[in-house]
Amino acid sequence: MLPPSQEPAVSRSHCGACDAATSPGSAFCPECGARLGQPDAAQRPDSAGDLWAREEEEFLELAQADLELSLAPRYTIVRRVGRGGMGAVFLGSEPALRRQVAIKVLAPEMASDPQMRARFEREGRAAAELSHPNVVRVYGVGETGRLHLPYIVMQFVEGCSLDDWIERNERPKEWVARRLLGEVAGALAAAHARGLVHRDIKPSNVLVEEESGRAYVADFGLTGSTGPNRRDQKLTATGTIIGTVTHMSPEQVSGEAVGTPSDVYSFGVMAYELLTGELPYRARAPMEWAAAHLRDTPPPVARARPDLSPELALLVDRCLAKDPAARPAARALADALLPTPATGLAWPPPGLAPVRVWFRRLTRVDVAAGAVALLVLLALAFPPDAVRAEGAWWERFASTERVEGTGVEVARSPGAGGVLTAQRWVWLAALGGGSAAAVLLLVATAAAATGAAAAALRGREWGWSWRTISDVAADPDGRSELALTGAREFAPLDDARRASILRSRRALLLGRLAAGAWASLGVALWATMAAFGLLELPGAGPVAGAGTVALVAAPALLLAAIAAAAALAERRALRPLPWRAPHRGAASGGASAAPGPSAREVAAWYDALPADAPSAGRRPSPGSGRWRPALAAAAAAAAAAA
């Protein structure tokens, strides 16, 4: 605080700064707090620490006396609770409200430095701007009357720093670590929402209340502003490195302008230390730490703590990314570490619940129709041996037959065509049942397609973007909301991976629908042409040849493979994470039409999206629905044709 020196002592009876009378042997002026002299050169090196301790104690007694006079009668000083490089902290009492407070006072030599004084005052202003249960509350700021020392009156947290807590709780349980880290992330999110960057997140600046175990973020002395009013940034010269070197972000180390991702990086270093008991890098000198932050990749958290859930380990690893854009936002951290029953985003969006219901129904019946149609076609192309032996077996189902040599057709006699064996009975029954099922499924597919198209067009009419509608339609388990917002188990994934998951889900939907539609419509078209004589059937053997089967089955199988590849892509993106049950917060809704949302509701939904949400959730641009009537007409024509 006031470092010792080996210069000769100077004896004075009056202060050189304010000319106040002083007592012999005093190190500080009782009126202004200025140093009166230097330590005696005769002091031995091994006793210099004792001399400094005596001088520091004298300063603390002066500061306490000055605080008592300046804060009375509202506050009384109880005792000193700590001291540091910038000053001291006293425990105070506020009798009127029957509560204890912490009073932080700046040391005289620090108070004489305009930059240090501005930093101290900025801490009080920044903390006072925030209202969050995990930020130490500030009750008042001021300056002592005699020594003119700045002070801050703040909430007293009875407990210890997170630094001390980590020493006493090595490798804490996951749920305990999640709660502490989630509370710190929530405090950072509140600060970032106000345009404030802490810039010195580390365990010693986090307090843990002994009784409740709640975490409080303190020491906003290095806070900067990211908003349009950047008055606080003027207090630090461009290129100046400030903060704690063990927890600095790469952009802090390189002297660049820092934003909210810098706090997230420092948070990641602190989380790594909390979970593993050691810092992510090994260094000794400040320059080695700086190089490590800029160059080295820390060992994955899962290597040191294999007992942790994969999503927590990956979340901390992502916080330590060198690229600020690859780090999650503090709000996403808080949501992932302290999950709530819902993300706060209505899902499906207002009015789009029928879209999800109709498209899920359409996918099921369309895939089923395509599969049954392909089975019918295969049965026609590869009949059993008992059927092949009869030759042109399909002619026995005709109502007339041609008299050989005359060209005359007469009514076919009942029972003509030979004896039906058991094998043929089974095959014909399966063929007939499959054909009937295929027809019914085609009708159901046409009805579901009509309902899905109508629901999607209504959603577009209400102002939802096609991307948003497709995300709702392609949501198989209710978790597309989490992929869109980056909440819960999707929080460890960066924006690009979450966007790829949404694309995979859309590709999966389109692949399934296209595969089913191609197979069912291809078989239906072939059967129609065969029934009306537009195709010349072979004289004997199978009705459908290998070429027909290949023409229908090959594209359908290719589309099914594309859908399977899309499903595999999502699985790979989520590979490090355990499978989660469908999100119960996603409303299923009904398929019937309901009153649509207002334009204000649609706009509010898009405004509630996180800033880093994939582009799939972006609001449609003006004029993007000019071709909507043409789409509606095309959908109506398709439905009528079906």
Q: Which residues are catalytic?
A: 200
**Tokens representing residue 594 in the block:** 């309901």
**Tokens representing residue 564 in the block:** 């399977």
Whether the CA torsion 66, 72, 74, 76 is positive or negative: it is positive
Burial of 136 (0-12, 13-18, 19+ CB in 10 A): buried
Cβ proximity of 446 and 349 under 8 Å = no
Phi, psi of 77 (to 5 degrees): -90, 125
Query: What one-character DSSP code corresponds to residue 324?
Result: G
**Tokens representing residue 348 in the block:** 């499906």
- First CA to last CA across the chain, in angstroms? 85
- Where are the strands (E) in 378-446, listed by range? 400-403, 408-411
Strands 150-155 and 400-403, sheet pairing: unpaired
Query: What one-character DSSP code corresponds to residue 584?
Result: T
Query: What one-character DSSP code corresponds to residue 187?
Result: H
Q: What CA–CA distance (Å, rounded) separates 531 from 545?
A: 16
Cβ proximity of 474 and 623 under 8 Å = no
C-alpha closest to that of 605 among 471, 463, 476: 463
Q: What CA–CA distance (Å, rounded) separates 76 from 64?
A: 10
User: What residue has token string 């023409």?
Assistant: 551
Compute how many other C-beta atoms are within 10 angstroms of the C-beta atom of residue 420: 15
Cβ proximity of 600 and 445 under 8 Å = no
Burial of 607 (0-12, 13-18, 19+ CB in 10 A): exposed
Residues linked to residue 224 through DSSP beta bridges, in sequence order:
197
C-alpha closest to that of 347 among 481, 489, 521, 201: 481
| Residues present in the chain in total | 642
Residues linked to residue 320 through DSSP beta bridges, in sequence order:
none
C-alpha closest to that of 330 among 266, 424, 244: 266
User: What residue has token string 């985003």?
Assistant: 345
